[in-house]
Chains A and B, each alone.
Chain A
Amino acid sequence: DQQVKQNSPSLSVQEGRISILNCDYTNSMFDYFLWYKKYPAEGPTFLISISSIKDKNEDGRFTVFLNKSAKHLSLHIVPSQPGDSAVYFCAAGRNTGKLIFGQGTTLQVKP
Chain B
Amino acid sequence: EAQVTQNPRYLITVTGKKLTVTCSQNMNHEYMSWYRQDPGLGLRQIYYSMNVEVTDKGDVPEGYKVSRKEKRNFPLILESPSPNQTSLYFCASSLRGQGDTIYFGEGSWLTVV
A-B interaction: no
